Structure formats: structure tokens, C-alpha cells
Amino acid sequence: MTAPHSGAHAATGPGGQPAAGAGPAPAERDPAAELSLEEAVHQVEAEEHEGRPPAAGPLANVLVAAAVVALGVAAVVGSAALGVGSARDPDSGTFPLLVSGALVLLGLGLLAVARRTEDAERFTGASWLVVAGLASMVGFVALIGVIGFEIPAALLAFVWLRFLGHESWRTSVVISLGVVVAFYLLFVAALSVPIPHLF
């Protein structure tokens, strides 16, 4: 009588082939197929940059920063014309003045890093969406002092959601009205901010 085979010989049949009941041999890892964390990050970044428009140059960055500063300064002047008021007694231009000041500071920050940043993209067809958004904000500012903020705010939110964000008609209408109601309840009803309004 012979002793039963053990170890590796028990899992193989004639000719060195795996026996019918034996499981598959564990696959060996290929070191070349494994990426380090740094290599994986670089690979993801490379995939993200594929298909994106080329980066804008330093001159374009400076022009954009200058435009942001100029817009902020113009908004500061317009806010002052509405009346600034004080911290205890804010006027119509108080909150626009705060936003305008932040815009000026952001523009100056962009100007400081204009030569080192590569986040900005060259002007392409999709950039017209930004121009449309800016034009809608200009229209909002022009109308708010004439007919109040309710209708211009609802139209602005609707245009941004439906035509710039490509949301559905129902979502655009519901969110636009909800935003106006929330702003009215917060700033007019609760805080009594003297912002131009219809109701």
C-alpha cells in the first residue's frame, strides 16, 4: 500500500494538470500594474485635463482681474449712491457695499497671482454663458431700484437655472419662486432691511 499524496501533489492530476476538485491557483501580482499614490494622482489629473480648453496666458489673467476690480469699484459707487447707513441702521446700499468690497479684494487677489495661475481658460464658445450671466446681473441691478427686488430676483434665478444650468422648467420655476420668498421673509419681514420691494 502506498501513502496518500500530500501538499502540492494532492491538487494535481496526471501530467501536472490541476485535479477536477481543486480550486484555481492564486494569481500572482504584477508589480508593474500597481501604481503608487503619487502616480495615481498624476494619472487622474491628466485625465481631468483631457478635453479642457487651453489655459489662458498671463495677459488674459491680468485683464480678467482688472475687469473684476473695475466691476467691484463700479458696484461700490452704486452702493454708495443708494445710501450706506451704519451697522446699527443699515440702508439700501449696505449689503451691496459689502459684496462690492469683497469683489474688489478678490480682483486684487487675482491680479497678484496672474502670472502664476493656470486655472483660467481661454475664451471659447462656452464662455458666452459667463457673459450672459453677467448681463443678467446688470439687468437685475438696473431693475431692482425701479420695481423692487421680487420680480428681477425671480427672473435672474430662473434664467440662471433654466438657460445657464439647463434645469427643468418645473425645477427652475419652483426654486426661483422659493428663493424670492425666502429672501423676502428673511430680509424684509424678519430683519426689516430697507431693500426696494413691491409688497
Q: Which three cell numbers stand for residue 25?
A: 491557483
**How high is the pLDDT of residue 32?**
45
98-114 residue pLDDT tens: 999 999 999 999 888 88
- Pairwise CA distance, residues 128 & 149, whole Å: 26
Q: Where are the domains of the chain?
A: 54-121, 124-199
Comparing 35 with 181, which gets the higher pLDDT?
Answer: 181
- Pairwise CA distance, residues 151 & 156, whole Å: 9
pTM score above 0.85: no
Average pLDDT over residues 122-149: 84
